Amino acid sequence: MRKKERILVALSGGVDSAVAAALLVKQGYSVTGVFMIQYDQPGKSGESCWVPDYEDAARVAVKLGIPLLKFDFSKEYASTVLAYMFAEYEAGRTPNPDVLCNKYIKFGVWLNKTHELDFDYLATGHYARVKKGFKGWQLCPAKDLNKDQTYFLHQLGQEQLSKIMFPVGGYTKPQVRALAKKFNLPVANKEESMGICFIGEVPMKEFLQTRIKPKPGKIITSAGETIGEHDGLAFYTIGQRHGLTAPGAQNRMGSQKTDTQPLYVVEKNILKDELIVGFDNDPLLFKKEIYVENLHWISGQIPKLPLNCQVRLRHRQPLQKCKIIAVGQRLKIIFARPERAPTPGQFTVFYKNKKCLGGGVVAS
């Protein structure tokens, strides 16, 4: 380190970002913590949902002896991530707001604030690794593949990767926990946060209904039998287990359904407002090919196509072999074996040679 570089560390109040900050302090960087407000909604106690995490972040900063800044980006979050999320659901698609949050908020407005304050880098507690390769910056999976977050980070580009750090990317989660205890951090035993602030304990459907009006339509089996009515395609996801029972209903294979066999959402007919359901082995659930649009390549260059690589349709899904072919402005993805429930609106992320290449949105 030629000079004492200034690092702005996003402290979320969790153990991962706390350890990230502790590691950077130990390595001799000039570290400043920052807490970013993205959503401001009263919790059960009446205080804003972010307050408990802010208090934890403040305790970490005091323990490490570093300053802690606080910024409110809730307006930017609402106008980008939340607006996108509601629009996608209302169109009958299933978005992933975390991907857009990373692109436009955490490594968009947060990174802009980092530059504005004259810091050299923005560091977070994400599980991923950034490497400088022969042809530019690369986004690589974390050491802990079970915690790897490259799926959520695949929309980042060269300029962003050149100015960010992921200090815990080279550690496993148990190692991070052990480091938190070694550094005697006040959040060392804090439970993993799996929820989202703006949803909290409220089911997703209930949250969506605050902005999306019900639009009833028929529930039809994949064999064409009408068995009920749904309250809006926006509230259902392909592959989701449906609580409805329909004794005697048949699937496309013609087998009889029993009371003990659950039904799953296998397709949505947007034009007719029809929700198609079937059994877990329904052929409609499995796709050999899909089309992907709105593509982003981390290198900034379209790879030579066709390309044999690996693909991930959702976070933590094991990588699957595929072949990608250009079809106009879209890509056609041919899976080595049929994939269950590829869902329009969700992201498809590509990997090759232990690097994340980028990805796009499932179109159909």
Catalytic residues: 101, 197
Beta-strand runs (E) in the chain: 6-10, 30-37, 68-72, 121-123, 129-133, 136-140, 164-165, 217-221, 226-230, 241-242, 263-269, 274-278, 286-297, 307-312, 320-327, 330-340, 347-352, 355-362
Q: Using an 8 Å Cβ cutoff, are 81 and 88 in contact?
A: no
Residue 91 and residue 212 in contact, taking contact as beta carbons nearer than 8 Å: no
Interatomic CA distance for residues 275 and 244, integer angstroms: 12
SS3 call for 190: coil
Give me the half-sphere count of Cα atoms (radius 13 Å) on the Cβ side of residue 116. 7
Q: Classify residue 304 as exposed, middle or buried by CB count within 10 Å of its CB (0-12, 13-18, 19+).
A: exposed
Who contacts 145 (Cβ-Cβ below 8 Å, separation ≥6)? none
CA torsion angle for 12, 15, 17, 21 (degrees, to 10)?
120
Q: Is the dihedral of CA 50, 26, 107, 238 positive or negative?
A: negative
